Each structure stands twice: as structure tokens, then as C-alpha cells.
Amino acid sequence: MSSENVSEQVVIIGSGPAGWTAAIYAARANLNPLCLIGVPRTNPAPVLPGGQLMLTTEVENYPGFPEGITGPDMMQNFQKQAERFGTRVRGVDVTKCDFSSRPFKLQTSEDDEVLAETVIIATGATANWIGLENELRLATTGGGVSACAVCDGALPAFRDQPLAVVGGGDSAMEEASYLAKFGSTVYVIHRRDTLRASKAMQDRVLANDTIKMVWNSSVVDVLGDKTIEAVELEDTVTGERSKLEVRGLFVAIGHTPATAFLEGSNITLDDAGYVLVEGDSSRTSIEGVFAAGDVSDSTYRQAITAAGMGCRAALDAERWLAEHE
Ligand code: NAP
């Protein structure tokens, strides 16, 4: 446990694949890392220590698990491995950061301050949900609702079944193209009659016979008890309601990076709120502060890419400490 007047060598904020991988590398480099893993929250959508994989059932695309593994089991293994090498863990959120001088000062949700020589930000991003009760329930119980087609789309339950994607951006187009390899029909439900996605991605979707566009429509209810059976749609022009039978719903309406606690810290974020890093490194605009995983990656957003970024951040922090000793 950290005390107010001891400055930690490495503090990792976040406990998804990026955070735990950074912890494993930092601990094995004898940097005695402290990992601040966050506090569970359920409102408006569930957010748990361990990140988005805590809301995922089967993970089948992480190398090394030929039979697959559940997201929560995987995160438990990551944590065990980090702790085995001496990572210390605290179940607190960071509410405010002062990066103006070293040691850096991190305010926690328990109203104390953690001092740090280096900080690795690995707080991830959360998928945006429509916000319907049954949508969130089925998303957390393996009921056929997901925010990641690449993670879940290839599961047997979706093979040769009617599926739907919600959204009109590049992610929705990418998810629809991916799902068209498995589903019998893939409906893209969009609230307007023009897409936000780039022309090239639109063209690919519009040329695919398996994909059908459902324009000017909002999903107002998700129907089904254990698994999804249909969605209720509302026409955004006429207000008319209709039912569309589907066995899978993929919500692709954007992500929100978990960077609110960085407000006022002077760290540079991009226009969408992701932490900017220098080129291929994990270096942020503040020396000694590094970022890894989905909090600084709006493109790939996979467990394996986040883990790789966590490794880089620990190596960058280790080098930085050696140079500034
Ligand atoms: P996005 O561009 O923000 O698009 C979100 C889509 O969801 C929009 O079409 C929006 O509708 C819709 N939407 C938002 N809130 C909604 C709600 N409550 N109900 C129904 N629909 C809602 O997000 P994204 O597609 O995730 O892309 C994020 C960034 O990553 C973009 O810069 C994108 O270019 C990039 N990206 C690139 C690639 C690639 O190049 N391979 C792949 C994926 C993502 P409106 O259009 O009506 O606002």
C-alpha cells in the first residue's frame, strides 16, 4: 500500500490487458509497481476493474488459448501473473492528476494522494451503448448483444443467423463487412439516411448482397429473455414502430476514452479525447507519463494490441527512470 510521502517508481492506472501487461514487465524489472485498478460502477453502463473483457464471454482470438477463455478468467490470470512478480494493487479510482512537477500527484477516490516518479495511463475506453435495459443485460450475460464484432462475431451462435449492426460510422461498416462472413443477413440500422463512414467503407458495405441497410431507424427495445430474438425499431421520420428478428446485435456507435480524470492535467489529448502518444512509443506530452491500450488507440482496440502497448509503456518507463536516476 502506498503511503502519502513515499514516491512510487511506477504507478499504473487501469487494469485491462494494457495495465496488467505493463505491471508484469515493470514488476519483473524490479520497479515495484503499484496498480490502481479502479472501482466497479454500474451506471449508466457497467464498468469493472479489468475493463471491457470483464463484459466479454468467450475470447477466441487471443493467441495462446486454443480452446478460448472467458474474458473475466483471462483478466484474473493477468492479475495473478502481475501479482506473482510483486505488483501491488489498490481498488481505487484516480480522480485528478497533477503532472506539473515530480513526483507526480495522483488524487484517489479514497481522498488520499499517491506520489509517482512515472505514471502509465491504461484506463481504456468504453463502448457507447444505446442505453436500453435489455441491451445492457444481454450484453453482460452472453445473450447475443455485443459492442465488438471482431471479438464475438465468429461465435457459433451467430452462424447463418440474421444479425444487426447499429451505427453509420466506419466501425459499423467494418463490423457489418466482418459479420457478413457469418450471418445469413446483416442489417445495418442507422438513424439517418446518409452514412458518416468514409466513402470506401460505405461502398464495400453497399455492394455486399448479405448486408441490408435499414435507414432512418432507431432501436427502441431489445427483445428476448436469455438470448436476443428481435429488436423493436422506430422510424425517425414517421415515428412508426416495427419488429426486426435478429439473433445478434452489434452496437457500433463509438467509444469514449476514460480520460475525464486527466482534465486540468495539461496532458495532450486528441479531438476525441484519446491520450496522444509520440509515434510508435508510449510517451505522452508530459515527460515521465506514458499511455497504453485503448485510452490511446482508437484504431485497433484489441486485447492483444493493448497488451503489446502495455509492454512498451513499461519498457519506456524503465528507460526513462534509468536516464533520470
Ligand atoms: P463515429 O464515427 O463517431 O460514428 C458513430 C456512429 O454511430 C454515427 O453514424 C452516429 O450516427 C451513430 N450513433 C451515435 N450515437 C448513436 C445513438 N445513440 N443511437 C444510434 N446511433 C448513434 O464512431 P466509429 O464508427 O466508432 O469511428 C470512430 C473513429 O474511428 C472515426 O474517426 C473512424 O473513422 C475511425 N475508424 C476507422 C476505421 C478504419 O479506417 N478501418 C474503422 C473503425 C473506426 P450519426 O452519423 O447520425 O451521428
- In tens digits, the chain (325 residues) has pLDDT values of 444 569 999 999 999 999 999 999 999 999 999 999 999 877 666 678 888 888 777 788 899 999 999 989 999 999 999 999 999 999 999 999 999 999 999 999 999 999 999 999 999 998 899 999 999 999 988 899 998 888 889 899 999 999 999 999 998 999 999 999 999 999 999 999 999 999 999 999 999 999 999 999 999 999 999 999 999 999 999 999 999 999 999 999 999 999 999 999 999 999 999 999 999 899 999 999 999 999 999 889 899 999 999 999 999 999 999 999 7
| pLDDT, position 45 | 66
Instruction: Considering the candidates 35, 151, 294, 316, report the single residue annotated as catalytic.
Output: 151
Contact indicator for 8, 86 with CB cutoff of 8 Å: no
Looking at residue 58, what is its pLDDT? 78
Predicted confidence at residue 43, as pLDDT, reads 62
The answer, yes or no, to whether any atom of ligand 1 lies below 6 A from the CB of 130, is yes
pLDDT in tens, 47-83: 788 888 887 777 888 999 999 999 899 999 999 999 9
Using CA positions, which residue lies closest to atom 46 of ligand 1?
A: 196
Active site residue 35: no
Going from the Cα of 166 to the center of ligand 1, the distance in angstroms, rounded, reads 10
Question: Which residue has its alpha carbon closest to ligand 1 atom 48?
Answer: 196
Q: How many CB atoms lie within 10 A of CB 66?
A: 7
Query: What is the residue-wise DSSP string for 310-322?
Result: HHHHHHHHHHHHH
The residue whose CA is least distant from atom 3 of ligand 1 is 254
CB 253 less than 6 A from any atom of ligand 1 = yes
Question: What DSSP designation does 283 have?
Answer: B
Q: Say which amino acid occupies 80.
A: K
Taking each helix axis from N to C end, the angle separating 71-84 and 17-28, rounded to the nearest 10 degrees, works out to: 20
Quick check: CB of 159 below 6 Å from ligand 1?
Answer: no
Ligand 1 atom with the shortest distance to the CA of 190: 21
- Which domains are delineated in the chain? 7-126+255-324 (3.50.50.60), 129-251 (3.50.50.60)
